[in-house]
Structure 1
């Protein structure tokens, strides 16, 4: 697999929402992007806030665009404020450098997409993404 397809993306999105319910998380929103950064699937749990789609997308898009999980971006942002300000401008504000944006890798380790989750704490968002990606038989890259 060189990029996430609709069936796998849908499975991941459903898995994120199920993982959130199993953990009693706040309502989640999930964005699944293919290797080219295009939204394949976006789903909102009932009661999810109105900005959650943009945040989930920004977490996934930023991870994919930088080739680094959003947790790594969050760790680097405080020491490179000028760089992240420039990235924010260049990306027209789309990059969200907080945990919850997870790269998806195939068996060979190649990036084939990204998953962004928003709605609960960033750690919970990331945990739900990791569980869903693994359940789909793929590798989740959180930078850890």
Structure 2
């Protein structure tokens, strides 16, 4: 009886597994090559902002983890794509500055942090991509998320 209850609970919990995170990264990088982007760095975080997986392509500058993470982390902890954080920073700079302090400077309010939702619409994580223009970064993230069978919100 206990095993059946555990299996039922697992069926209700949607998360970004390591396998899905790797798919997201692989497909985001493939999209980058397909549309001839500069070398990308991609991070996948779970619903709590914890890193599930990260890769930095050959030729990507050092320090890209922090930027990709900041985009994804900001998106998931605030609950909006990082492109919306850009708008918030322009409209309410004091608020976004305060958020930066609250979250120990980990939020990067620049497009390229894409929310990840399951098929039912539940927020389960985010993907942060950096290396090219912010719009191209977001396009690569969306391609990876879609390939993993999940829904992206940029």
Same fold flag (TM > 0.5): yes
Residue equivalent to 2:20? 8
- Say which of 118, 123, 134 aligns to 2:146: 134
Q: CA deviation at 1:134?
A: 0.7
1:1-144 alignment, distance < 5 Å: 2-142=14-154
CA distance in 1, matches of 2:119, 2:59: 35
What do residues 71-109 of structure 1 show as CA deviations (whole Å, max 9, x unaligned)? 111112111011011111111111001100000000100
Q: Superposition RMSD on alpha carbons, in Å?
A: 0.8
Q: CA deviation at 1:3?
A: 1.4
What do residues 44-71 of structure 1 show as CA deviations (whole Å, max 9, x unaligned)? 0111111211000000000001000001
User: Structure 1 regions of 5+ residues with no counterpart?
Assistant: none
Normalising by the residue count of structure 2, what TM-score does the alignment of the two structures yield?
Answer: 0.90
Query: In the alignment, is the contact (CA less than 8 A) between 2:39 and 2:131 conserved in 1?
Result: yes
Q: CA deviation at 1:35?
A: 1.2
Residue 47 of structure 1 aligns to a residue whose secondary structure is coil
Residue 3 of structure 1 aligns to a residue whose secondary structure is coil
Normalising by the residue count of structure 1, what TM-score does the alignment of the two structures yield?
Answer: 0.96
Which protein has the bigger helix share?
Answer: 2
Q: CA deviation at 1:2?
A: 1.8
Residue 103 of structure 1 aligns to a residue whose secondary structure is strand
What do residues 25-57 of structure 1 show as CA deviations (whole Å, max 9, x unaligned)? 000000000112110100001111112110000
Number of matched pairs: 142
Higher CA-based Rg: 2
